[in-house]
């Protein structure tokens, strides 16, 4: 195996990667190297529970897309925000189809997601499209995550100002680097910036994202520092500052509930990974 093949085996390119091309006798162009990633959105592989899957890399902003003609699902949005926070990119919530009107639930969303901007957009009236364009000013890259039908393609088309189809091969920079796309569509916006549309994603499994969870739920993490036990689960322990805050009406009990669910998911996953490692070690010893 040549060196170029070996490095390819270590990191498989994902959408958004910059690669160095190499040449293999009898094969042609090959990926010689995946260049270091600035950011990476990583989820749990939907097909294989104990493996990670890199969705897209090198994005600056993650737009979590939700259409206001559907019921609000805060748990789902928070899950995507943790995914975004874990990637190292900046999260923003993009509400679509606001021409259809917002009910109170959607209007009050901002209060539930502290520190995350919520953009109101419509591909029909053009409202908020400038705000989305501003996210990718100065040649930044924005990826849109959301379920199918949430209006992602319409948003992309409105930004580009015409209907675009899959831009299969986008060259940027010099000949050494090339953005790679798979099923994700990468579109260069005429006014500057790059937009990556993903196929509809209904839900994502988090992967190794504890620090990101603590950042998205910073209010709870902060309260947790005052709990009597440093490893307090905020469920049953005496002297739990988090539960006290709920009882006193300072913290929404539903928010705590959603946080605990995500934490349980991550804990369980870490446990599975540890079990696997132990098994692998056992096999090697025998
Ligand atoms: P995608 O699957 O996320 O790419 O969603 P599409 O862009 O294909 O949109 C799904 C449906 O929502 C289509 O029927 C669109 O016409 C409709 N839609 C998209 N954007 C808007 C909008 O801003 N306002 C309204 N009223 N409908 C929209
Ligand atoms: Zn506690």
Which residue minimizes the CA distance to atom 25 of ligand 1? 97
Ligand 1 atom nearest residue 156's Cα: 7
Q: Taking Cα atoms as reference points, which of 86, 83, 84 lies closest to residue 62?
A: 84
**C-beta of 153 in contact with ligand 1 (< 6 A):** yes
Which range among 17-31, 44-58, 89-103, 105-119 shows the weakest confidence by mean pLDDT? 44-58
**95 strand-pairing partners:** 66, 120
Q: Is the Cβ atom of 158 under 6 angstroms away from ligand 1? A: no
Please give the domain boundaries of the chain with CATH numbers for all domains.
Answer: 40-197 (3.40.50.300), 217-285 (1.10.40.50)
Helix (H) or strand (E) holding 50, with range, is none
User: Considering every ligand atom, which ligand is closest to the CA of 201?
Assistant: 1
pLDDT given for residue 168 in this prediction? 34
Residue partners of 125: CB distance under 8 A and separation at least 6? 99
How confident is the model at residue 10, as a pLDDT?
62
242 band by pLDDT with thresholds 50, 70 and 90: very high
C-alpha 202 to ligand 2 mean position (Å): 32
For position 169, what pLDDT does the model report? Answer: 39
The separation between the first and the last C-alpha atoms of the chain, rounded to the nearest angstrom, is: 29
Atom nearest to 96 CA in ligand 1? 23
Residue 196: per-residue pLDDT: 87
Q: Which residue has the tokens 């924005």?
A: 142
Q: Residue 256 has which token pair?
A: 């705590």
| pLDDT of 250 over the 70 cut | yes
Indicate if the pLDDT at residue 4 is higher than 60. no
Residue among 69, 101, 123 to mutate when testing ligand 1 (max atoms within 8 A of CB): 123
Q: How confident is the model at residue 165 (pLDDT cuts 50, 70, 90)?
A: very low
Binding site membership of 91 for ligand 1 (Cβ less than 6 Å): no
Ligand 1 pocket, 147 CB below 6 A? Answer: no
Mean per-residue pLDDT for 80-95? Answer: 96
Two tokens, residue 270: 């870490």
Separation of 149 CA from ligand 1 center, angstroms?
A: 6
pLDDT digits (tens, 9 = 90+) for 133-147: 999 988 899 999 998
pLDDT of residue 226 exceeding 90, the answer is yes
pLDDT at 143: 94
- Could you tell me if 182 and 217 are in contact, meaning their C-beta atoms sit under 8 angstroms apart? no
Task: Return the best residue to mutate from 151, 152, 196 for the ligand 1 pocket (most ligand atoms within 8 A of CB).
Answer: 151
Say yes or no to pLDDT of 182 above 70. Answer: no
Angle formed by the axes of helices 253-285 and 74-87, nearest 10°: 50
Whether the CB of 149 sits within 6 Å of ligand 1: yes
Average of per-residue pLDDT across 29-38: 90
Pairing of strands 141-145, 61-67: parallel
What's the pLDDT at 41?
A: 93
- Residue 187 has what pLDDT? 84
What is the residue-averaged pLDDT of the chain? 86
Where b means 16+ CB within 10 Å and e means fewer, 204-232 reads bbbbebbebbbbbbebbeebbeebeeeeb
Most confident of 47-56, 154-163, 244-253: 244-253
* 228-252: average pLDDT: 96
Q: What's the gap in Å between 154 CA and the centre of ligand 1? A: 6
Distances in whole angstroms, Cα of residue 88 to Cα of each of 38, 56, 59, 97, 111: 8, 12, 9, 28, 23
| 9-13, 119-123, 168-172: least confident range | 168-172
Spacing, Cα 240 to ligand 2 middle (Å): 4
Which residues is 19 bridged to in the sheet?
34
Ion ligand 2 residues within 5 Å by Cβ = 227, 232, 234, 240, 242
When comparing pLDDT for 96 and 29, which is higher? 96
pLDDT band per the 50, 70, 90 thresholds, residue 184 = low
Give me the pLDDT at residue 1, please.
36
Mean pLDDT of 111-137: 94
pLDDT of residue 162: 59
Atom of ligand 1 lying closest to residue 154 CA:
7
């Amino acid at each position: 195996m040549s060196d170029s093949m070996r490095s390819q085996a270590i990191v498989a390119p994902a959408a958004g990667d910059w690669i160095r091309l190499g040449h293999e006798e009898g094969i042609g162009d090959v990926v010689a190297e995946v260049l270091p990633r600035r950011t990476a959105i990583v989820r749990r592989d939907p097909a294989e529970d104990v493996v990670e899957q890199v969705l897209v890399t090198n994005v600056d902003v993650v737009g979590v897309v939700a259409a206001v003609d559907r019921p609000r699902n805060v748990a789902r949005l928070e899950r995507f925000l943790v995914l975004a926070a874990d990637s190292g990119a900046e999260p923003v919530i993009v509400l679509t189809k606001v021409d259809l009107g917002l009910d109170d639930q959607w209007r009050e969303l901002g209060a539930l997601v502290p520190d995350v901007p919520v953009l109101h957009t419509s591909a029909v009236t053009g409202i908020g499209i400038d705000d989305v364009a501003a996210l990718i000013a100065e040649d930044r890259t924005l990826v849109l995550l959301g379920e199918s039908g949430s209006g992602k393609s319409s948003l992309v088309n409105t930004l580009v100002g015409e209907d675009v189809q899959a831009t299969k091969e986008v060259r940027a920079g010099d000949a050494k680097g090339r953005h790679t796309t798979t099923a994700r569509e990468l579109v260069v916006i005429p006014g500057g910036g790059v937009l990556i549309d993903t196929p509809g994603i209904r839900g994502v499994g988090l992967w190794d994202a504890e620090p990101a969870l603590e950042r998205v739920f910073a209010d709870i993490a902060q309260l947790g520092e005052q709990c009597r036990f440093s490893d307090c689960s905020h469920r049953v322990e005496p002297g739990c500052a988090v539960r006290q805050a709920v009882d006193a009406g300072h913290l929404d009990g539903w928010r705590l509930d959603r946080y605990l669910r995500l934490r349980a998911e991550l804990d369980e996953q870490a446990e599975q990974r540890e079990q696997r490692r132990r098994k692998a070690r056992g096999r090697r010893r025998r």
